[in-house]
Amino acid sequence: MVRLITHNLLACHAKGCTTNNFPLAFRDAQVEIQEQDINPEFVRNMLPRLEWKALVDAARQVGDESLPAEQPEMMDDELVQKLHRVLMEVRNLTLSSLLASPNGHDYPSTSLRTRDTPRTNTTSLSTPCIHVLSMHLSPLPHPRTFLQIHITEGAMICPNCEHVYPISNGIPNMLLAENEIG
Amino acid sequence: MVKIAVPTSIQGRPQEYEEAHVHNVYDRIADHFSSTRYKPWPIVAQFLSDIPTGWIGLDSGTGNGKYLPIPTERPGSIFTIGLDRSHNLLELAKCAGGSPTRDVLRGDVLGDYWRLGAFDYALSIATVHHLASPKRRKQAIERLIQSVSSTHGRILIYVWATKQDELSRTSFPKKACWSNEDETRISPAGQDVFVPWVTQTSTDGSVTVEPETSKSMYMVLNRYYHMFSEGELSRMAEEAAKELDLKIGSPDEFSERGVKGLHISEEGWERSNYYLLLTRWEK
Ligand SMILES: [Zn+2]
């Protein structure tokens, strides 16, 4: 699976692609939310590592508008909660095309799905790690933090060279063909 | 269970050699491999336990992702992203430690997919030894160095050693013996070997592995390793640092402002493996 925290670190380095190669844009992203216990200390300490604007834009691309456009100077509890949701959980959406709403404000109709996952870390490997519950909710039930949002399908597009990195079954494929390696 | 290593030499292009003797093998043996690889190496567990809360890291060559949930005593305190080439291993890595799922990406350990210095730490456990040329092994180390912060990034590299644990399950054919008593025969450049995995395809199509059998109904999959000789890994890390214009040594040894460096904070051997702990610094 891939969360927005991971997306925030990714940059395209295909052959000749050295500038304007971050952040990758989501296309046809399908998203799921997995509940996760909040660790406020993690969120506070981790935040300086992220690019705020890229995070806000990516969150909007996957249907979460909870974050302010400018990074607040003070990290209050409410912001920590929001960030946790955006980074660690996500309520789902299927965005038919993000290109249709480049600024992330016009949301296409969404179908929502919630993943009901045990909150413990003790699930053994032999059991399926996720139990998917389907449920239909109105778009954007409530904001989710970026640690809870998992992008499961779709693609990430380099804003510069337009290389397409597909995401399938929660796993982005970053492999480049030999002639694309810079 | 005895692991056997047979000396080999690289034929053809290293990339294709790795495709045949590393990537394809792991994709085929993923399930069984995973069931034998669940215990974290103590050095690796310690490295991750020492990482401060809020740090973000890369596990390059994550395999079944067994290090992604660590430290389990502080769940959610650090965030490790798994990178691997094997799709089947990534499917397992995704679920490592149960829910919530782990973040994993399909990619090459020589690939560059990140903002420069994006991570606070990086680990490469039992991975660099699968690259089939010295140049590629050095490049893998360069990638690790580039992936972490220039001011505080920490790196742990763990590779298979020519110096084998007496209690280890690995045995070597007489002809190419390089046991502990026989270290003079170890080349300073290490040793390329195959470690055969014998597999049996059952009726449901799944592959099971029975390392000690050699009946004709079993198929042998040769996995390529480069066994590192003593000091080889640290020499390679120093070369990688030079390529990246980094000073080698502790930050106390340099006073000039703006200097960037790499410190080999620890070098050691644990149960048939050499490991290296590197720290980046900037004045
Ligand atoms: Zn690009």
Round to whole Å and give the CA distance between B153 and B146: 9
What pLDDT score was predicted for residue B196? Answer: 84
The rounded percent of chain A whose pLDDT value lies above 90 is 41
**pLDDT mean over B62-91:** 94
What residues contact residue A55 under an 8 Å CB cut-off, 6+ apart?
Answer: A4, A8, A67, A86, A146
**Nearest-CB residue to A45 (from B54, B106, B111):** B54
b vs e for A19-50, b when ≥16 Cβ sit within 10 Å of the residue's Cβ?
A: eebbbbbbbebbbbbbbbebbeebbebbbebb
Round to whole Å and give the CA distance between B227 and B18: 15
What band does B171 get if pLDDT is binned at 50, 70 and 90? low
Round to whole Å and give the CA distance between B128 and B56: 21
Q: What distance in angstroms lies between residue B184's CA and the mean position of ligand 1's atoms?
A: 49
Round to whole Å and give the CA distance between B76 and B98: 13
**pLDDT mean over B171-176:** 47
Q: Pick the residue from chain B with its C-alpha nearest to A50.
A: B118
The rounded percent of chain B whose pLDDT value lies above 70 is 83
Q: What distance in angstroms lies between residue B258's CA and the mean position of ligand 1's atoms?
A: 30
Given a cut of 60, whether residue A106 has pLDDT beyond it is: no
Q: Which stretch of A20-34, B2-16, B31-45 has the lowest confidence by average pLDDT?
A: B31-45
**pLDDT mean over B120-145:** 97
Among all chains, which residue has been given the structure tokens 């996720």? A130
What pLDDT score was predicted for residue A125? Answer: 29
What residues contact residue B181 under an 8 Å CB cut-off, 6+ apart?
Answer: none
**For the whole model, what pTM was predicted?**
0.83
Which 3 state secondary structure label does DSSP give B69? coil
- Domain ranges in chain A? 4-180
Round to whole Å and give the CA distance between B124 and B80: 12
The rounded percent of chain B whose pLDDT value lies above 90 is 59
Given a cut of 80, whether residue B201 has pLDDT beyond it is: no
Q: Which stretch of A127-131, B20-24, B85-89, B112-116 has the lowest confidence by average pLDDT?
A: A127-131
**pLDDT mean over A142-158:** 75
Q: Which of B79, B40, B42, B88 is nearest to B58 (CA)?
A: B79
Compute CA distances A95 → A37, A98, A139, whole Å: 27, 6, 11
CB of A132 within 8 Å of a chain B CB? The answer is: no
Which 3 state secondary structure label does DSSP give A86? helix
What pLDDT score was predicted for residue A6? Answer: 95
CB of A152 within 8 Å of a chain B CB? The answer is: no
Multiple choice CATH, A4-180, 1.10.3720.10, 2.30.30.30, 3.20.20.70, 2.20.25.10 = 2.20.25.10
What pLDDT score was predicted for residue A108? Answer: 33
**pLDDT mean over B142-157:** 98
Q: Which of B64, B69, B199, B49 is nearest to B127 (CA)?
A: B64
CA-derived radius of gyration, chain B? 19
Given a cut of 80, whether residue B174 has pLDDT beyond it is: no
CB of A118 within 8 Å of a chain B CB? The answer is: yes
Residue B7 or A135, more confident: B7
Q: At what angle do helices B232-243 and B134-147 cross, to 10 degrees?
A: 60
The answer to whether A115 touches A135, Cβ cutoff 8 Å, is no
Count of C-beta atoms within a 10 Å radius of residue B11 = 11
Quick check: A130 and B95 CB within 8 A? yes
- pLDDT tens per residue across span B213-269: 444 466 788 889 999 999 999 999 999 999 999 999 999 999 999 999 999 999 999
Residue A123 or A157, more confident: A157
What pLDDT score was predicted for residue B236? Answer: 97
Q: How far is A63 from chain B (nearest CA, A)?
A: 20
Round to whole Å and give the CA distance between B217 and A5: 47
Given a cut of 50, whether residue B178 has pLDDT beyond it is: no
Question: What's the ipTM?
Answer: 0.85
What pLDDT score was predicted for residue A116? Answer: 38
Residue B83's H or E segment, with its range, is strand B79-84
Q: Could you tell me the two tokens for B161?
A: 């050693």
Superfamily of domain B12-165+229-282: Vaccinia Virus protein VP39 (3.40.50.150)
Q: Which stretch of A115-129, A149-163, B204-218 has the lowest confidence by average pLDDT?
A: A115-129
The rounded percent of chain A whose pLDDT value lies above 70 is 68
Given a cut of 50, whether residue A122 has pLDDT beyond it is: no
Q: How far is A108 from chain B (nearest CA, A)?
A: 26
